[in-house]
Chains A and B, each alone.
Chain A
Amino acid sequence: MNRIFITLLLVVSSFSLMGQHVVINGFVTDSLNGETVIGASVYNKVSKQGTFTNSYGFYSIQVPVGKSVVTFSYVGYRSKTLELHLKSDTTINIQMDVNTLKEVVVQARRDETGVQGVHMSAVTIDVDKIKSLPVIMGETDVIKTLQLLPGVKGGTEGSSGMYVRGGGPDQNLFLLDGTPLYNVNHMLGFFSAFDANAIKNVTLYKGDFPARFGGRLSSVVDVYLKDGDNSKIHGEGSIGLISSKLFLEGPLFNKNTTFAVSGRRTYLDILTKPLIAMARKTEPNLPDVGCYFYDLSAKVSHKFSDKDKLFFSGYMGDDVIYFSMPIESSFNSKTFFNTNFYGKNAVSAVRWSHIVNSKLFVNTSVAYTGYRSDVRVSYKSETNGSYAFMPLSIGYDNLNKALTMKTRIEDWSIKFNLDYTPNSKNRVKIGTNLLYHSFVPTINTTISLGSMAIDTTIGGRTIIAKELNSYIEDTYTFNDRWSANGGVHYSLFNVQGETYHSLQPRASIRYLLSDNFSVKAAYSNMSQNIHLLSNSRVGLPTEIWVPSTKRIPPTISNQYAAGLFYNLKNLYDISIEGYYKTMDNLLEYKDGSSYFDVANTSWEDKVVMGKGWSYGAELLVKKDIGATTGWIGYTWAKSERLFNRPGQELSFGNVFPDKFDIRHSASIVISHKFSNKFDVGAVWVYSSGKAGTLALQKYQIEQPEKTSEIDYVGMRNNYRYPDYHHLDLSFNWHKKIKWGERTFSIQLYNVYNQKNADFVLDVLDDNDNKAFKKITIFPFIPSFSYTIKF
Chain B
Amino acid sequence: MFIKIDNIFSSKLFFVLLLVELISACESDLKFNGEQSKSLLVISSFVSPEDTVKVHVSLSKFFLSNSSYTDVDNAKVDLYLNGQYAATLTHISEGNYFTTTKAHPADVVRFKIESTKYGVASCESNVPILLDKSSIQSKCDNNFFYLSIMDDASTENYYRIVGKQKTEYYTYNLNKTKKMEMVWNMDLKLKNSIENDQLTQFGKTDSYPLYFSDKSFNGKMVTLKLESIGLFSEITYDSVSNVKSFVSTQDTLDYTILDSIRYDIDIQSITKDYYLFIKTSKLVEDKLYLLEPVQVKSNITGGIGILGAFSSLRVSKTWIPNEK
Contact = CB atoms under 8 A, between A and B. Distances in A.
Interface of A: 137, 187-188, 190, 268, 272, 287, 289-291, 321, 323, 325, 327-328, 337, 339, 377, 396-399, 401, 403, 444, 446, 456, 458, 535-536, 538, 540-542, 588-601, 651-652, 693-706, 708, 710-714, 716, 718-720, 722, 755, 757-762, 769-779, 781
A399 B9 CA distance: 12
Given A711-B296, A759-B16, A777-B19, A401 B202 contact: yes
B290 A757 contact: no
Interface in B179-199: 195-196, 199
B10 A594 contact: yes
Contact of A774 (B4, B27, B62): B27
A773 B27 contact: yes
A770 B61 CA distance: 12
Interface of B: 1-6, 8-10, 12-13, 15-16, 18-34, 36-37, 39-40, 42, 44, 46, 56, 58-66, 69, 96, 162, 195-196, 199-203, 207, 209, 280-281, 283-285, 288, 290-296, 304-306
Contact of A699 (B200, B209, B305): B305
Nearest to A651: B295
Contacts of B19: 187-188, 190, 291, 777
A444 B201 contact: yes
17 contacts: A188-B16, A398-B6, A538-B15, A588-B292, A592-B284, A593-B291, A598-B201, A652-B295, A708-B285, A710-B284, A760-B30, A762-B63, A771-B29, A772-B32, A775-B25, A778-B25, A781-B24
Nearest to A458: B201
Nearest to B4: A398
B293 A693 contact: yes
B37 A755 contact: no
Nearest to A774: B30
A772 B29 CA distance: 6
B16 A777 contact: yes
A444 B15 CA distance: 19
B42 A701 contact: yes
A575 B199 CA distance: 56
Contacts of B285: 708
A755 B59 CA distance: 35
A701 B34 contact: no
Given A187-B19, A398-B5, A444-B201, A594 B64 contact: no
Contact of A779 (B4, B26, B199, B283): B26
B44 A703 contact: yes
Contacts of A769: 66
B160 to A, nearest CB: 10
Contacts of A588: 292
B4 A593 contact: no
B45 to A, nearest CB: 9
Contacts of B21: 272, 287, 289
Given A700-B69, A772-B32, A776-B28, A590 B9 contact: no
B292 A594 contact: yes
A121 B42 CA distance: 50
Contacts of A446: 201
| Interface SS, A side | mixed
B2 A593 contact: no
A597 B291 contact: yes
Contact of B61 (A601, A697, A704): A697
Contacts of A592: 280, 283-284, 288, 291-292, 294
Nearest to A288: B21
Given A399-B5, A595-B290, A708-B281, A321 B26 contact: no
A591 B26 contact: no
Contacts of A713: 293-296
A37 B60 CA distance: 65
Nearest to B34: A719
Given A399-B5, A591-B294, A596-B290, A770 B63 contact: yes
A649 to B, nearest CB: 9
B37 A188 contact: no
A279 B3 CA distance: 22
B29 A697 contact: no
A401 B5 contact: yes
Given A589-B292, A591-B295, A596-B9, A773 B28 contact: yes
Given A321-B18, A700-B42, A759-B16, 16 more contacts: A289-B21, A291-B19, A328-B2, A535-B290, A538-B16, A597-B200, A597-B291, A694-B34, A697-B61, A699-B69, A700-B69, A720-B33, A720-B34, A771-B64, A773-B28, A774-B28
Contact of B63 (A188, A697, A757, A774): A697
A599 B291 contact: no
Nearest to B65: A770
A598 B199 CA distance: 10
A541 B15 contact: yes
Nearest to A761: B12
Contacts of A458: 201
A697 B37 contact: yes
B64 A762 contact: yes
B164 to A, nearest CB: 12
B284 A777 contact: no
A110 B4 CA distance: 57
Please list the 10 inter-chain residue pairs (A to B) with the smallest Cβ-Cβ separation, ordered nearest first. Answer: A592-B283, A693-B293, A699-B60, A774-B30, A697-B60, A702-B56, A701-B44, A699-B42, A592-B294, A398-B4
B283 A591 contact: yes
A758 B12 CA distance: 12
A730 B211 CA distance: 60
Given A399-B5, A720-B34, A759-B13, A600 B63 contact: no
B158 to A, nearest CB: 14
Contact of A599 (B2, B61, B201): B201
A399 B285 CA distance: 20
Given A703-B44, A777-B23, A600 B293 contact: no
Nearest to B191: A600
Contact of A772 (B30, B37, B203, B292): B30
B32 A594 contact: no
Given A599-B196, A697-B60, A769-B66, A781 B305 contact: no
A598 B65 CA distance: 35
A779 B24 contact: yes
A695 B30 contact: no
Contact of B40 (A542, A699, A719): A699
Contacts of B280: 591-592
The listed residue with most A CB atoms (<10 A of its CB), out of B4, B30, B61, B280, is B30
Contacts of A716: 293, 295
A703 B292 contact: no
Given A289-B22, A699-B69, A711 B6 contact: no
Nearest to B42: A699
A495 to B, nearest CB: 24
Contacts of B29: 771-774
A471 B201 CA distance: 47
A701 B28 contact: no
A377 B293 CA distance: 25
A597 B202 CA distance: 10
A594 B294 contact: no
Given A697-B37, A697-B39, A702-B44, A323 B27 contact: no
Contacts of B207: 706
B202 A398 contact: yes
Nearest to A285: B1
Contacts of A190: 19
B288 A596 contact: yes
Nearest to A594: B291
A700 to B, nearest CB: 5
A599 B37 contact: no
Contact of A778 (B8, B23, B66, B295): B23
Nearest to A718: B34
Contacts of B36: 696
A739 to B, nearest CB: 35
A699 B295 contact: no
Given A401-B202, A595-B290, A710-B281, A696 B37 contact: yes
